Amino acid sequence: MLPFDYLTYRLCGNAVTERSGATITGYFNPFKNCWEPQLAHLISDKLDWEKLWPKIVPSNSNVGTVIPETGLDELVGAIVCVGTGDNMSAALEMNIQPGDTAISIGTSGTLYGISIRGVIDETGMINGYADAANRFLPMITTLNSAKVTDTFCKLLRISNDKFAELALSAPAGANGLLLIPWLDGERTPNLPNATGELYGLRTTTDAKDIARAVIEGVLCGLLSGGKLLQHHGVDASGRLVITGGGGKSKAYCQILADLTGKSVWVSPIGETAAAGAAVQAAAAINGINNAEMAQRWNVDYEKVADLKQNGKFVFERYYAFVTNLLKEKK
């Protein structure tokens, strides 16, 4: 079981899961909505996997009530919802629609959209997840995100607020400085032994350039994944929404607007995944689908950044540089 499935099991005694969380395992087929025993057998052919797996139920399911065995006396009898993955839950709270692009900046980073048709990417760079509303949530995940900023804050011996101030005071492109932010290896692209690389250093390079290059590098890594999603037909014509710790950073928000040329929006709800769980629970209690409940919830986004400096050339430079770098590594 996934952790949220196990929590459900402990609360109500029922072994269940739903399609969006199940796709995280790698041995669930979101197109047929069924487990794939032949894939699980690659892990171990000595287990009777089909007897071990939880039952697949709809993502808006009421799956039982809290049982006395939990020891949670004050909650006994409370309705238990099936639950889902964190990004899938956040997508519900933010009411992400086909055409919207969501970027989450945390310790790691994610970029995803909603697609009516699923994505099959033979390179393995796209996670072809299902969402929690009977659609699909193709996603790119990078290993190095806000922790890259934290690392350079330590190196420069400044606070995150000062780092953001410096980054916003530098020109787009950081006076030619380019960071490849693979500090702890990378998962997209799949380079577990990679390291971070800083190019374009000069005697004129200063702390402002470094701060700008760091945030540009982190965001360009995610936007490179976004380009791959678009190549597979995922619509990106709608809103650009940022969440996670990066959504609270003026520098991340503004530089994202500069790199893309698009306005950047954020949900006023700080903990989007937790709020999405509430949306899912409300759908289960009221017997409606999660997408309809997300529409009813539908908080008003706040626009946090508009284009100030044209930085599209920065992404183009980064993408070309990384493409050549990957060819060399092969």
Question: Would you please indicate which residues are annotated as catalytic (active-site) residues?
Answer: 86
3-state secondary structure of 298: coil
Q: Residue 265 CA to chain centroid, in angstroms? A: 15
Q: Which residues make beta-bridge pairs with 109?
A: 105, 142
Torsion-angle region of 83 (φ positive above 0: left; ψ -120 to 50: alpha; else: beta): left
Token pair in block for residue 49: 């996997």
Closest to 135 measured CA to CA, from 290, 284, 247: 290
Three-state secondary-structure class, residue 63: strand
Task: Say which amino acid occupies 7.
Answer: L
Q: What residues does 179 pair with on adjacent strands?
A: 198
CB of 297 within 8 A of CB of 243? no
Shortest CA distance to 79 belongs to which of 15, 11, 21? 11
The backbone region for 134, taken as left when phi is positive above 0, alpha when psi lies in -120 to 50, beta otherwise, is left
Q: 207-231 vs 312-329: helix axis angle to the nearest 10? A: 80
Following DSSP, what letter does each residue of 93-113 receive, concatenated? Answer: HTT--TT-EEEEESSSEEEEE
| 115, 102 contact by CB (below 8 A) | no
